[in-house]
C-alpha cells in the first residue's frame, strides 16, 4: 500500500476523521486523569501510589503521543493546502502518496490506548 496514490480530498477526509478520533482520546485522557485524581484523594497506601504513579506516567505518555499525531496530521494537511493553492486548476487530477505510515501510527496508538485504559479501569475498580 506504500505506493498507493489517492486524491487530495481522500487524504483530507481521513485527516478530519483522525483528528476527530484523537479529540475523543484527548477527552478520555482528561476523564481518566480525573478518575485517578479522585482515587488518589481516597487512597494513600504504598501499593496504591506505586500503581497510580504507573498510570500517571501512562497518561502523560499517551497525551504526548496524541499531541505528536495531531501535529503530524496538521503538518500534512498544511502541505496539502499549499499544494492545492499552487495548483488550483489541476489539483483535482493530481494524486498523492497514501499516508499508510501515519495510519499505522494511529492504529497502534488506538490499540495501546485501549490496552492501557482496560488496565486502568481494572485498577480503578480495585481501589474504588
pLDDT in tens, 46-55: 999 999 999 9
Instruction: Tell me which residue range forms the domain holding 59.
Output: 5-127
Closest CA to 79 of 54, 106, 103, 99: 99
**DSSP code of residue 17:** H
pLDDT along the chain (128 residues), means of 10: 79 95 98 97 93 97 98 94 84 85 96 98 95
**CB burial readout 74-100, b (16+ within 10 A) else e:** eebbeebeeeeeeeeeebeeeebebbe
Provide the grid cell at 74: 496538521
Asked if 6 and 96 count as a contact pair (C-beta separation under 8 A), the reply is yes
Give the number of domains in the chain: 1
Per-residue CA distances from 55 to 18, 19, 42, 50, 126 (Å): 25, 24, 16, 9, 14
Amino acid at each position: 500500500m506504500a505506493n498507493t496514490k489517492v486524491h487530495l480530498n481522500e487524504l483530507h477526509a481521513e485527516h478530519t476523521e483522525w483528528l476527530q478520533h484523537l479529540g475523543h482520546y484527548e477527552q478520555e485522557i482528561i476523564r481518566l486523569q480525573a478518575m485517578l485524581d479522585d482515587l488518589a484523594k481516597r487512597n494513600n497506601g504504598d501499593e496504591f501510589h506505586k500503581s497510580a504513579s504507573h498510570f500517571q506516567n501512562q497518561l502523560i505518555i499517551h497525551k504526548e503521543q496524541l499531541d505528536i499525531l495531531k501535529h503530524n496530521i496538521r503538518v500534512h494537511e498544511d502541505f496539502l493546502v499549499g499544494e492545492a493553492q499552487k495548483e488550483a486548476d489541476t489539483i483535482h487530477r493530481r494524486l498523492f502518496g497514501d499516508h499508510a505510515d501515519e495510519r499505522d501510527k494511529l492504529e497502534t496508538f488506538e490499540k495501546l490506548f485501549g490496552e492501557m485504559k482496560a488496565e486502568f479501569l481494572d485498577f480503578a475498580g480495585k481501589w474504588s
